[in-house]
Structure 1
Amino acid sequence: MPFGEVVCGAPGSGKSTYCYGKHQLFTALNRPISIINLDPANDNIPYPCAIDIASLITLQDVMDEHGLGPNGGMLYCMEHLDANFDWLEARLKELGPDAYVLFDIPGQVELSTNHESLKHIVQRLTKIGFRLAAVHLCDAHYVTDAAKYVSVLLLSLRTMLQLELPHINVMSKVDLIAQYGDLDFNLDFYTEVQDLSYLENVLNTASPRYAALNMAFCSVIEDYGLVGFETLAVEDKASMLHLTRAIDRATGYVFVPSRDAPAPEGALEASSVPASARPNTFSLFSSAAGAMAGNVRDVQERWVDAREQWDAFERKEWRKEGENIREASEREKVQAEARGKNRIRERK
């Protein structure tokens, strides 16, 4: 059974950068990954693309042929993909039954909030066997402004209700958050979304005219109680691994055994089927969910409170690691030369 992520978010939230970073991480971990570009306007793709919607339709062609603007043309492209889903399905089958797929979605937020085409595509992907999770990226700088933060909460909530998938909201570019000014609260206040009444004073000060409206929005968000955030610094390995573990739990991939994992005693024999389709007993006994590592307060310390100290510490560790690698390489070289001399003596 294939797994995947529907990577969505507003323009500039870092979707393509995240996909590229995920490809690099999975390549290093020796995990299979395929990235599908579903953005017909994206002609500068940074990652290796397994399937590109440009082979089916492009935004520029639609705009030229039908006289549509960028937003209208994007909606047309998604409707065209929905109507020609068999094109996508045929190419997805070529990736194999154990594929892990990232769907890079266009940045127009209406596609994931109120337009039906993307929702139909996701539903049809689920019907053909994909276990998907929505990964909704939001630029972390929005938390530096209370009104913008409320708007991001509304956008995230609407996306969750529209796509109807296991959902991970992500504050991307958290490593840049200190550039936008001081936070009114600790970072965990923004990620856990527990008591938004604390925003009232800030909202009254910043935009008193809309304070009541903003608090009404906060009440709606709290009534649903669905929104929360993970953090992401795409160039930080620990951050990427933490988010990957959260997504694996959401999709159920964490319970899929590796290909060479031994079967526990009493499990059904299923060597002839893909790993992702083996019985749950096998998967559960050969996988360990474990406790989620990482803490938002650690993230705040790393990227907000003590970034310079952490950067200096990491540079020191990198230098030490480089020196160790260089010393190990020199030792191997000396040992190889010694072995060569010994062979020469033995021949004599």
Structure 2
Amino acid sequence: MSKVGVMVMGPAGAGKTTFCNSVMSYMESQGRTGNLVNLDPAATAQEYAFTIDIRDLISLDDVEEELKLGPNGGLIYCFEFLLKNLDWLDEQIGDYPDDYLIFDCPGQIELYSHIPAMPMLVKHIQQQLSFNLCCTYLIEAPFMVDRAKFFSGALEAMSTMIFMELPHLNILSKMDLVKDTMSRREIRKFLCPNPQLMEDDEVKDDQKDLILSNPKYRKLSKAIAQLVDDFGMVQFLPLDCSAKDQNASVRTIVTCIDNITQWDENQEPKEPEEPEEPESDDD
């Protein structure tokens, strides 16, 4: 059996927990087993309960109250505390060696791009617990309205790809918030972004002031877009967890994760079911 883990990352408010619950729902509909691992010491469970919860070890509320730290400093302290108590995590994960673990991570992006706590945790789960890990990084689809903001989000996604050194999927979440204002043709341009988006002549007049907001930073925004394009590995998958056919986008993402982590290849073959013999007329 395979030991697979998905690290769900992204800034606060990007829809990470909603995505985790959507993956759980989809897997449940497919007869698969998944477990939610909460790594956010400030989060509470929503649709699905946490199988493993960092708050059983340490919570942000306690840290802020006892150490008089703010939310950012408190989150860093919590992760440093977790790294000093990895035996607790090993014991918790040890009960689920063959299941699909979905790690719901906090929304402090410094943990993914500046502070080595998250990469150290990832390496421990890979090397000591022998999990095949994949990273999903979410940014909000409404960023597409302000293209400078979109490329800033893409740059942070690229930074996380480099910093985490994991197989990586970038996801545009909350697609339901833009599908009524942007055509599919417009949306497709953002799935494989290139610097031309900053100069797109087909932009609606009422959006141009948003796209080129803060004109004095326009050269910087274009340079960021060019940097993302030069890296050549930043692409996005759309995610809409509100639609009736939400399984379509979730299914595509889960399939990509399965391919990356080789989940299918490591499943034990199942014996084919014997067909039932028809009852004899003599009976």
Same-fold call, TM cutoff 0.5: yes
Of 246, 249, 265, the match for 1:239: 249
* 1:204/1:211 contact within 8 Å kept: no
Q: Secondary structure at the match of 2:179?
A: helix
> What is residue 322 of structure 1 aligned with on the other side?
none
> What is residue 112 of structure 1 aligned with on the other side?
112
- How much does 1:46 deviate? 3.2
List structure 1 runs of 4+ shifted beyond 6 angstroms. Answer: none
User: Which letter does structure 2 place at the counterpart of 1:209?
Assistant: K
- How much does 1:113 deviate? 1.4
> What is residue 266 of structure 2 aligned with on the other side?
256
Q: Give distance in 2, aligned partners of 1:45 and 1:77.
A: 22
* Cα gap change, 1:220 to 1:199, in 2 (>3 Å): same
* Cα gap change, 1:61 to 1:191, in 2 (>3 Å): same
Identity among equivalent positions (%) equals 33
Q: Secondary structure at the match of 1:102?
A: strand
Deviations 1:123-176 (A, max 9, x none): 110102000000111111101111111111111101111111000000011122
Task: State how 1:102-251 maps to structure 2 within 5 Å.
Answer: 102-127=102-127, 128-178=129-179, 181-182=181-182, 186-193=186-193, 195-200=194-199, 205-235=212-242, 236-251=246-261
Task: State how 1:24-43 maps to structure 2 within 5 Å.
Answer: 24-43=25-44
- How much does 1:215 deviate? 1.4
* 1:5/1:101 contact within 8 Å kept: yes
Q: Normalising to structure 1: TM-score of the pair?
A: 0.70
Q: Give distance in 1, aligned partners of 2:126 and 2:72.
A: 27
* Cα gap change, 1:152 to 1:68, in 2 (>3 Å): same
Q: Secondary structure at the match of 1:137?
A: strand
Structure 1: gaps spanning 5 or more residues? 263-348
* Cα gap change, 1:159 to 1:237, in 2 (>3 Å): same
Deviations 1:178-225 (A, max 9, x none): 35x4479621210112x3134136688433211111111122112211
Q: Give distance in 1, aligned partners of 2:123 and 2:157.
A: 19
- How much does 1:5 deviate? 0.2
* 1:82/1:118 contact within 8 Å kept: no
* 1:16/1:46 contact within 8 Å kept: no
Greater percentage in helix: 1
Structure of larger gyration radius:
1
Equivalent residues, number:
259
> What is residue 332 of structure 1 aligned with on the other side?
none
* Cα gap change, 1:149 to 1:78, in 2 (>3 Å): same
Q: Give distance in 2, aligned partners of 1:199 and 1:254.
A: 40
Q: Give distance in 2, aligned partners of 1:115 and 1:183.
A: 39
User: Which letter does structure 2 place at the counterpart of 1:104?
Assistant: D
Q: Secondary structure at the match of 2:19?
A: helix
* Cα gap change, 1:144 to 1:254, in 2 (>3 Å): farther
Q: Give distance in 2, aligned partners of 1:24 and 1:197.
A: 38
* 1:113/1:162 contact within 8 Å kept: yes
- How much does 1:66 deviate? 0.9
* 1:133/1:247 contact within 8 Å kept: yes
Q: Give distance in 1, aligned partners of 2:147 and 2:183.
A: 10
Q: Give distance in 1, aligned partners of 2:132 and 2:90.
A: 15
Higher relative contact order (CA 8 A, sep 6+): 2
Deviates more, 1:246-255 or 1:116-125: 246-255
